Amino acid sequence: MLSRKRLRLIAIVWMICLTVVSLQPYRPRGESHSEAHRILHVIAFGVPALMLLALARGLKQQWAAALTIVCLALAIETAQHLIYGNTFEWWDVRDDVIGLLIAVLLNRWKPCRAGC
């Protein structure tokens, strides 16, 4: 069992690592349209969503957790677009939101609260 403090730290580190990896300059050719890439997006954003939902106390904090994940996805894609001049990858945001929705469904089906 994880304490709230430890789970919060893991979620923060996960999101920082996700941002760093997403913004690094190496881009494998053709990788961004593969099924593996889509699955990685679902997992990479679904896991922190589950952590933030577990930390949430009440509906308002659950909404804030969901909004945090959506804003992170949009911020990363916007930064990639501005830094590398590529097209804005809405399909990546879609896959990130799918990960969030799976996390929400899992949280509704089997709620887990940090420190319980």
Note the pLDDT tens digit of each residue in 67-99: 999 999 999 999 999 999 989 999 999 999 999
Check: pTM over 0.75? Answer yes or no. yes
The per-residue pLDDT for 27 is: 73
Q: Considering only CA atoms, which of 50, 83, 84, 81 is closest in space to residue 66?
A: 50
**Angle, vertex CA 57, rays to CA 66 and CA 12, nearest 5:** 55
Show the low-confidence residues of the chain (pLDDT under 70). 28-32, 113-116
Distances in Å between the alpha carbon of 34 and those of 28, 72, 89?
Answer: 11, 22, 13
| Identity at 1, one-letter amino acid code | M
Residue 104: which residues within 8 A CB-CB, separation 6 or more?
49, 53, 62, 66
